[in-house]
C-alpha cells in the first residue's frame, strides 16, 4: 500500500522546534502552507512556508487558533498560490500521537496534522475518510 508523505526541509523543522520552545510549557501551533501532489492514490504534501499562530487556549494540553488568525493565514496562503498542507502543534507533556480532542478536530480539518512530542519526536497523521486515523511518512529534505 502506498503511504502519503510530508516533505519538510531541515530549516522548517528547526522553525517548528523553535515554536515549541517559545510556547513551552503551553502547546505551540502553526499552519503549514505548500503544495500537494497526487501520485496515483497517494499524496505528497510539501511544506514551503510556516505560519506561526498563537495558541489562544494558552494551555499545555490543548490548542485553539483564533478565527481572525485562520482567515489571515488562508488569505496569505491563497495570495501565494499555495495550499494549506498541514496543521502543526506540540505536546509539551505527552507523546506525538493525537489526543481525543485532536481526533475530533482532525475530522473537521482533514489535512495532515503534525505533532511534536515531549521527547522531540515528530509524527504526522490524517483522517482517512471511513478508515480512521492514518500515519504519514515524514521525509526531511535539504
Comparing CB distances to Zn ion, the nearer of 35 and 60 is 60
The DSSP-derived string for 15-64 is HHHHHHHHHTTS--EEEEEEEEEEETTEEEEEEEEEEEE--TT--SS---
Q: Which has the closest alpha carbon to 12: 29, 27, 26, 32? A: 32
Q: How far is the CB of 42 from Zn ion (least distance, A)?
A: 25
Residue nearest to Zn ion (CB): 102
Comparing CB distances to Zn ion, the nearer of 82 and 106 is 106
- The greatest distance separating any two alpha carbons of the chain, rounded to the nearest whole angstrom, comes to 41
The correct pick among 32, 96, 102, 127 for binding Zn ion (CB under 5 A) is 102
Comparing CB distances to Zn ion, the nearer of 9 and 99 is 99
Q: Which has the closest alpha carbon to 8: 71, 88, 97, 75? A: 88
β-strands 113-116, 83-90 pairing: parallel
Looking only at residues 28 through 87 of this chain, which bind Zn ion when binding is defined by CB under 5 A? Answer: none
Which segment (33-41, 43-51, 102-110, 128-136) binds Zn ion by CB under 5 A? Answer: 102-110
- Binding-site residue total for Zn ion (CB under 5 A)? 2
Q: Does residue 4 touch Zn ion according to CB under 5 A?
A: no
Determine contact, residues 3/137, Cβ cutoff 8 Å.
yes
Q: How far is the CB of 102 from Zn ion (least distance, A)?
A: 4
The correct pick among 35, 42, 60, 99 for binding Zn ion (CB under 5 A) is 99
Q: Give SS3 for 110.
A: coil
Q: Give me the residues that bind Zn ion (CB under 5 A), please.
A: 99, 102
Amino acid at each position: 500500500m502506498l503511504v502519503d508523505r510530508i516533505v519538510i526541509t531541515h530549516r522548517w523543522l528547526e522553525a517548528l522546534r523553535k515554536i515549541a520552545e517559545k510556547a513551552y510549557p503551553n502547546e505551540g501551533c502553526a499552519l503549514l502552507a505548500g503544495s500537494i501532489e497526487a501520485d496515483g492514490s497517494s499524496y505528497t504534501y510539501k511544506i514551503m512556508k510556516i505560519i506561526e499562530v498563537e495558541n489562544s487556549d494558552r494551555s499545555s494540553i490543548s490548542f485553539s487558533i483564533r478565527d481572525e488568525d485562520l482567515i489571515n493565514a488562508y488569505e496569505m496562503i491563497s495570495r501565494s498560490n499555495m495550499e494549506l498542507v498541514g496543521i502543526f502543534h506540540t505536546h509539551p507533556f505527552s507523546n506525538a500521537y493525537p489526543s481525543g480532542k485532536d481526533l475530533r478536530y482532525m475530522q473537521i480539518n482533514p489535512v495532515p496534522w503534525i505533532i511534536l512530542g515531549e521527547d522531540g519526536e515528530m509524527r504526522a497523521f490524517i483522517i482517512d475518510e471511513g478508515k480512521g486515523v492514518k500515519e504519514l511518512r515524514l521525509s526531511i529534505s535539504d
